[in-house]
Structure 1
Amino acid sequence: MTSSRITDWDDAYANGAHIKDADSFAPKWEAAAAAYRDARVASERARLDVSYGSSAREVFDLFLPDGDMRGIVVFVHGGYWRAFDKSSWSHLAAGANARGLAVVMPSYTLCPQAQITEITGQVARAINQAAGMLSGPVYLAGHSAGGHLVSRMICATSALSRGVADRVEQVLSISGVHDLRPLMRTAMNRDLRLDFDEATRESPVLHYPRDGVRHHAWVGAEERPEFIRQSELIANIWSGCGADTALTIEPGKHHFDVIDSLADPKSAMLDALLGED
């Protein structure tokens, strides 16, 4: 039997070190996001920096479809709860906008200025406010740390209001981290400041999902084994808790390019987010 025991947790959760030309991705994201954002502002189909709280990063951008609106997608960015903001991902709204959905992209306070419990609360407030402004079903998507955050929104202990939680039709966690306990063994925990109590409290796999929830875990086949395991884990455990779960391991995709398909209105990933797969 081959052992799969982890001995180097930093390497297990390192993405860029295992992706060719990793440093080129962030500038490409930022350029594509700026171009899309500028175009939507010019066509008066965007509202930027909508405040949902008192701190500087408690703001979201809203991108409206050109025609009638059939619902709301909220996309929560990743970066290990320590990096990025809403402005790097505007282009990912293109697919959902083309299919008649408004897209909300929140920023949130980063670690170590905030702990993950606080970030979870901020994301819930952003979704509650956006849902109060817009009608229709709500679809949640997030990448990496964002996958954790949107999964946390549909736990039985979610901070979403009851009315908003009842409107959530589908959650898509892309390369999500659903069990935070291994991160306590990484160097990044100097910023995350996870202890056992918070790691267990904020791990979706250690909570019951809300009744009637639909959750799709999506991960690239070329990702680090831990990200594949984390996606398999939530699909397995939440299925046993009565949730409607699905798992996609997409061939040829790694942690940085797996999200690209959100920008394509005809993609299988967008079908999965909208529950039309």
Structure 2
Amino acid sequence: MDLEIEYNNRARVPGHPAIIAEWMRQSAALRTAHPPQQIAYGPGPREVMDLFLPREVRGVAMFFHGGYWQAMDRSAVSHCAAGLLAHGVAVACPSYDLCPAVPLAQIVEQAEAAARALHGRLNRPMLVSGHSAGGHLAAMLLARLPAHLVAAAVPISGLFWLEPLIPTSINTALGLDAAAARALSPGLLPAPGRPLHCVVGGAESSEFLRQSAEFAALWGGGSEAMPGLDHFTILSPLPDAQHPLTMRVAALAWQVCDDVSNV
């Protein structure tokens, strides 16, 4: 198996620049129409999250951007909050520092700090989600943080075993060795016994399909491969409040949220 071909998603989808440009356009439009609160969760310039609040909070979600822990920031995924907002789900989108400036272990710690800060702000259990590298962070938080903070996860095109990345060009910035890759692999951590639903594009590589299906089975969760969607178009359902995926995520966020009705 050629792991470079399996995991290098930008090479697999030549049209990805136009897709990302559309993410940025939709995200900027949402921030204009629904200005978020900015919450610092640490001292660094990237340790900030955008919090989109509905009129009435029925659930809480956190969504992490992708980019293989080495690209992008929260401004690329604001649009992923749009559909959930329509269902009364508050959505926080954090930025975090990037490799190689910081190690991946530090990014995981930043993700935990963001979740703790959001819980401190809203005082409710949250659903965590994210795309690609963000799906990895969502799974790590479900494994490492207590249920009163992180109660469920919906990783989208996530990475749950990191050792296959070691021989690829992706690892140039990550600098993972086998020990670090194992320590940072959610698939090697104890299952937390909380709701998990893994989503992946049906047109993604066999390795991404395998990782989502095997991880969901290992942790006793559900999984779905969405027909015709690739590693980038997999986010296209989320701005649509009536899409079945958006409705599934919203319902899970409602389910795990406590009964506090006022922010």
Tell me, yes or no, if the aligned pair for 2:142 and 2:152 is still in contact at 8 Å. no
User: What TM-score do you get using the length of structure 1 for normalisation?
Assistant: 0.87
Note the C-alpha offset of 1:144: 0.4
Tell me, yes or no, if the aligned pair for 1:147 and 1:175 is still in contact at 8 Å. yes
Q: Aligned residue pairs: how many?
A: 253
Where relative contact order (Cα < 8 A, 6+ residues apart) is larger, the structure is 2
Amino acid at match of 2:80: L
Residue 177 of structure 1 is matched in structure 2 by 159
Identity of aligned residues (%): 38
Residue 18 of structure 2 is matched in structure 1 by 24
Residue 247 of structure 1 is matched in structure 2 by 223
- Counterparts of 1:202 and 1:275, CA distance in 2: 29
Question: Aligned in 2, Cα 1:18/1:213: closer, same or farther, shift over 3 Å?
Answer: same
Unaligned 5+ segments in structure 1 are 1-5, 240-244
Residue 12 of structure 1 is matched in structure 2 by 6
Amino acid at match of 1:62: L
Note the C-alpha offset of 1:237: 1.7
- Counterparts of 1:33 and 1:138, CA distance in 2: 22
2:204 to 208, 223, 244: 223
Tell me, yes or no, if the aligned pair for 2:59 and 2:250 is still in contact at 8 Å. no
- Counterparts of 1:139 and 1:96, CA distance in 2: 12
Residue 154 of structure 1 is matched in structure 2 by 142
- Counterparts of 1:109 and 1:184, CA distance in 2: 20
1:1-277 alignment runs, 5 A limit: 6=1, 8-41=2-35, 46-48=36-38, 50-65=39-54, 67-155=55-143, 158=144, 160=145, 162=146, 165-210=147-192, 212-239=193-220, 245-275=221-251
- Counterparts of 2:250 and 2:20, CA distance in 1: 27
Amino acid at match of 2:159: V
Residue 242 of structure 1 is matched in structure 2 by none
Equivalent residue of 1:228, what SS? helix
User: What TM-score do you get using the length of structure 2 for normalisation?
Assistant: 0.92
- Counterparts of 1:86 and 1:230, CA distance in 2: 25
Please list every run of at least 4 consecutive aligned residues from structure 1 whose deviation after the TM superposition is greater than 4 angstroms: none
Note the C-alpha offset of 1:19: 2.3
Tell me, yes or no, if the aligned pair for 1:139 and 1:168 is still in contact at 8 Å. yes
Note the C-alpha offset of 1:247: 0.7
- Counterparts of 1:271 and 1:130, CA distance in 2: 22
Residue 258 of structure 2 is matched in structure 1 by none
Equivalent residue of 2:173, what SS? helix
Amino acid at match of 2:182: T
Tell me, yes or no, if the aligned pair for 1:70 and 1:136 is still in contact at 8 Å. no
Amino acid at match of 1:139: L
* RMSD of Structure 2 on Structure 1 (CA): 1.5
Equivalent residue of 1:185, what SS? coil
Deviates more, 1:24-33 or 1:143-152: 24-33
Amino acid at match of 1:218: V
Tell me, yes or no, if the aligned pair for 1:221 and 1:250 is still in contact at 8 Å. yes
Equivalent residue of 1:274, what SS? helix
Note the C-alpha offset of 1:20: 4.9
Tell me, yes or no, if the aligned pair for 2:23 and 2:76 is still in contact at 8 Å. yes
Equivalent residue of 1:233, what SS? helix
- Counterparts of 1:154 and 1:60, CA distance in 2: 19
Note the C-alpha offset of 1:275: 4.6
Deviates more, 1:199-208 or 1:21-30: 21-30
Amino acid at match of 2:122: L
- Counterparts of 1:268 and 1:94, CA distance in 2: 14
